[in-house]
Amino acid sequence: MAVVKVVEIIAQSSEGWEAATQEAITQASKTIKHIESVYVKEFKAIVEAGKIVNYRVNVKISFVVE
């Protein structure tokens, strides 16, 4: 039986929500091994002068504990 742990992370990118989600995975994978999945819980955007300048995601990352 596998034990799965979930951590919640907020990440951002100026390129889009997909890039922000990838940034969360990239940063998490520096210290977390065996990442299995990511669940995007929330989407947010920072707007300046009528344009989106940053895309933010709140994600839950699941990984197997050895």
Across 14-44, b (16+ Cβ under 10 Å) vs e yields eeebeebbbbbeeebeeebeeeeebeeeeee
The pTM for the full model equals 0.89
pLDDT reported for residue 66: 84
More confident residue, 9 or 2: 9
Band of residue 57 on the pLDDT scale cut at 50, 70, 90? very high
Is pLDDT above 90 for 1?
Answer: no
Side-chain half-sphere CA neighbours of 56 within 13 A:
9
Is pLDDT above 90 for 42?
Answer: yes
Q: How is domain 3-65 classified at the architecture level of CATH?
A: 2-Layer Sandwich (3.30)
Is pLDDT above 90 for 2?
Answer: no
Rounded (10°) CA dihedral 40, 45, 46, 50: 170
State the chain's mean pLDDT as an integer. Answer: 96
